[in-house]
Amino acid sequence: MSTNTVSRPLTRESVEAAHQLITAHIHRTPILTNTTLSQLASTPQTPEALRATQWEGQAPAKPKMRLFFKCENFQRIGAFKVRGAFHAVLRLIEEQGIEEVRRKGVITHSSGNHAQALALAARTFSIPAHIVMPSISTPSKIFGTRAQSATIHFSGSTAREREAVVAAIQADTGATLVPPYDHPDIMLGQGTVGLEATAEVAELLAASPQLGIAGKTGLDALLLPCGGGGMLSGTAISLYNTPTRVYGAEPSFQGADDAQRGVEAGRRVESVKTLTIADGLRTNLGIYPWEIISKKEYVNGMYAVTEQNIKDAMQLVLERMKCVVEPSGVVGLATVLYNEDFRRMVEKEAAEEGWNVGVVFSGGNTTIEAITKIFADEGTSGEELQRAQGTLGRDGKKTAENVAG
């Protein structure tokens, strides 16, 4: 993408401009509440639940929270990714002109949600789209991308293999790369989630104050999943110097909590290899998002949850909210319910009054097969679950490196 986009200021005003630009092309997704989940969030965990965790033997936290869910699983293509894709494409059109963008086309590498998002944005403006996807991508996501008239090019699953295919296609076509997360225009587009969530909760509380903490008119905190970091960093920019604190949530499995580890170490983790069931969060934090997420004044904290936490949160959403959310989309809720460090922080910071906490459901792109495997009994093999998630080839070889996006 052009150097002009890199110099676009990373400010709330830029996110507001992005929202104005893309609003005709995205859904205004709803805010949902759920009494049961708010009650669970405000109920101390049992000593049994903390057994065999780092909090075993400690007194359970006693936070008070009311939860508000921003449902990007109802977004176009089933995920927040369309926000960044439309913003990046529209900025390209502004800078180069529609005919030039059509002549070159656009290209990206992605295993699913960003692939579908860019394909949709490109089709909207009759722009050729080349999507490089790992050959082991989930079939439903391949189908969804092809349905948007994109040209799919299959590759290996590692970053190096995908980038080699992208480079070859760019050499032939001149197509402009639109990255999944590691670019300012992607971040600014994704950050529109924060603008909408805070405004919509304020509107909801003005009409129905009983849904929130007494006397409060907006969100105290907003939790978002973090993989490459585009949405988390963009939202942190959009809510900088506002009353709403921003927190990130990650899986802990096989080092998927690279953002948390990087922030603690003061250095970005450059490579991640993980088979977490939260397949949208398997990639490492991008360079541009790191510059925001690593700063405490933007992101107040990073928290991680286990695979079992993710499964339990996903089951609660399915059963209590009657809502389909993919594993990556529920890590924020899992943090609210099960991460004692987060819960203890809320107890301390909110004191007796409590917090209104927003949770972003980032997407709903899963399959019946994958859900069945996730909740199957213990006799289900790991290979079956990995195939259902699109992370194991039919030859039985694991393909774990950076297949998210």
Domain covering 80-183 assigned CATH 3.40.50.1100 in the classification:
yes
Strand partners, 305: 251
pLDDT band at residue 397 under the 50/70/90 scheme: very low
CA 399 – CA 397 distance, rounded (Å)? 6
- Domain range summary for the chain, segments of one domain joined by +: 12-78+186-389, 80-183
Percent of the chain with pLDDT over 90: 79
Quick check: 252 and 279 in contact, CB under 8 A?
Answer: no
Mean pLDDT of 278-297: 94
pLDDT digits 0-9 by tens, 162-217? 889 999 999 999 999 999 999 999 999 999 999 999 999 999 999 999 999 999 99
Neighbouring C-beta atoms of residue 165, cutoff 10 Å: 18
pLDDT band at residue 405 under the 50/70/90 scheme: low
Q: Answer with the residue of higher pLDDT: 400 or 330.
A: 330
Q: Confirm whether 311 is a catalytic residue.
A: no
| Per-residue confidence (pLDDT) for residue 147, from 0 to 100 | 92
Quick check: 145 and 82 in contact, CB under 8 A?
Answer: no
| Per-residue confidence (pLDDT) for residue 389, from 0 to 100 | 43
Q: How far is CA 150 from CA 19, 107, 144, in A?
A: 25, 10, 10
CA 142 – CA 327 distance, rounded (Å)? 18
- Equal fold, 12-78+186-389 vs 80-183: yes
Contacts of 9 (CB under 8 A, 6+ apart): none
CA 304 – CA 141 distance, rounded (Å)? 26
Catalytic hit among 111, 238, 252, 362: 111
**For the whole model, what pTM was predicted?**
0.91
Quick check: 175 and 130 in contact, CB under 8 A?
Answer: yes
How high does pLDDT run on average in the chain? Answer: 90
Q: Confirm whether 397 is a catalytic residue.
A: no
Given a cut of 80, whether residue 394 has pLDDT beyond it is no
Q: How far is CA 317 from CA 45, 321, 324, 358, 390, in A?
A: 18, 5, 7, 15, 23
Per-residue buried b or exposed e for 202-220, using 16+ beta carbons within 10 Å of the residue's own CB: bebbeeeeebbbeebebbb
Catalytic hit among 81, 141, 216, 373: 81
Instruction: Provide CATH code, domain 12-78+186-389.
Output: 3.40.50.1100
| Per-residue confidence (pLDDT) for residue 366, from 0 to 100 | 87
